[in-house]
Structure 1
């Protein structure tokens, strides 16, 4: 194969790889308030993959908390327990709902007072290296 053809094939492969990517969109983001001094809050949202390839969310973080992690509620011997989720895969066009009683964000060690109506930025990391940040609004109950 000649050098120009090899370069063209490599360029087309790179374009295809760039096109076949997952794209994370975050909607309905909110945080449930907690009593003053609480060291743990929960965050909820809908994570949607608007791309044409699977998307893997590897974690989350925020300057407003000491630690942010993805958790899920699982039933073990009839008892509900929380379990850390390593990664969350979202198929093309699919969504994962973070909601009370299911998958959610654990927001540990708030670095200040969290007030109703406040907006807190949380960043989601993906395996592809592209992350997305969203503003989570604090509410007493589901908006």
Structure 2
């Protein structure tokens, strides 16, 4: 089932606290820069690109360069705190993590072509079906991300 839209400011503080606790449990460091990039992803409310994050970061840290943001994003993805939407070349927070879920959970994304709203699913049935189809084709899957483009309920209702 969809987890809905991604958190805005009120939920961002709780998500940041949980991310810090998750990193501590894993023995990795959520540095101030990584924390700030995660905070910006959480605040975006929709998938956000690396260069949009860089522009925001440069307002606070004038010397910030693309590798700065990409290293932070790579860390956040490795920790399961954010996902990359390939179709949009953008990032959004993981709605499953760090709430005690395995950070490598199956995930699917529903992307509205009109408003850009993106909902995250974590449906094991979909993941098993994709894995079974891959195996039937002689392929050994490791992980799969499914991105479904369409129209969200709000946009469909608006006509």
Tell me the TM-score normalized by structure 2: 0.23
Which protein shows a greater Rg?
Answer: 1
Instruction: Write 1 or 2 for the structure with the bigger share of helix.
Output: 2
Could you tell me the TM-score, scaled by structure 1's length?
A: 0.25
